[in-house]
Structure 1
Amino acid sequence: MTNPALLPPVPVPDPDTEQYWEGLRNGKLMLCRCDDTGKWIHPPLERSRFTGGPVHFEEVSGNGSIFSFIVVRQALVPGRVPPFVVGLVELDEQPGLRINAVIDVDPGDVRIGQRVRLRIADLGDSGYRIPEFVVDTKL
């Protein structure tokens, strides 16, 4: 039996995030979008932050650039061996549409503005999948 203290934290979906997690389980990054304006919203909300109106989920490309990052040098998250990079990625779909995720890049080589693409990774044996990004010189 695996020690629970050694497992990564597992998401607890709620009505606002259930479609996000289901999309990842199916290999897609699905983000919330305002029905009235077409603007993307992340993290997901029950109602649009722009109009208060309805929202729906749509798939995004997963392409973007590094907006900000930190290098984690201490063993804080079970299942992650430091050092590793956690970044704020601005997705191509909309200026200001940003998502936090691990970025698979050597900590000494990471740069603001680097182009990245989505990789969906298993979250241990939890059955959940999470977004991660890899540097992509072709984008």
Structure 2
Amino acid sequence: MTDFATLPPVPVPNPDTQPYWDALKDGKLKLCRCVETGKWIHPPLERSRYTGGPVRFEEVSGKGTVYSYIVVRQALIPGREAPYVIALVDIAEQPGVRLSAYLDAAPEEVKIGQEVEARIVDLGDSGYRVPIFVPRQESSSVA
């Protein structure tokens, strides 16, 4: 697994994102959800984009599938060696709601449709934690 000890940037939470970051500190992946419709919303918003009503944060499974990805071949972040993969992951709870995150896999092993799951890792000694994704062992992939 990649060492995140030297990786900037450190998050700067705002009122909309604070519950997301607080949940990660507690080892949970929670996303914003419309109270009235039950639809997930990411990135988080103060009010539901569907109804304008209230939202709350609820835990998700962390399971999903790779919707898209890029292979970063030029090191842009101090302490991070290229190549590495940044994936756009559809969460299992609601396809179309996607998280962008580091995917801990060799670039040649990543496939669109690949099943992945989140791991929550420390972001150095910043006090923050971030989700990364890893391939699921029983993964099936779409070509």
TM-score range, shorter chain: over 0.9
Q: Which residue type is aligned with residue 126 of structure 2?
A: S
The whole-number CA distance in structure 2 between the counterparts of 1:79 and 1:30 is 28
Gaps of 5+ in 2: 1-5
Give TM-score scaled by structure 1 length.
0.93
The whole-number CA distance in structure 2 between the counterparts of 1:66 and 1:84 is 15
Q: CA deviation at 1:8?
A: 1.1
The whole-number CA distance in structure 1 between the counterparts of 2:41 and 2:24 is 17
1:110: which partner in 2? Answer: 110
Aligned-residue identity in percent: 64
State how many pairs are aligned. Answer: 134
Where 1:64 maps in the other structure, the secondary structure is strand
1:11: which partner in 2? Answer: 11
Where 1:108 maps in the other structure, the secondary structure is helix
Where 1:74 maps in the other structure, the secondary structure is coil
Q: RMSD value over aligned CA atoms?
A: 1.1
Q: CA deviation at 1:7?
A: 4.8
The whole-number CA distance in structure 2 between the counterparts of 1:108 and 1:82 is 13
Q: Which residue type is aligned with residue 15 of structure 1?
A: P
**Contact 1:8/1:79, CA 8 A, preserved across alignment:** no
Give TM-score scaled by structure 2 length.
0.90
The whole-number CA distance in structure 2 between the counterparts of 1:30 and 1:113 is 23
2:77: which partner in 1? Answer: 77
1:49: which partner in 2? Answer: 49
Gaps of 5+ in 1: 1-5
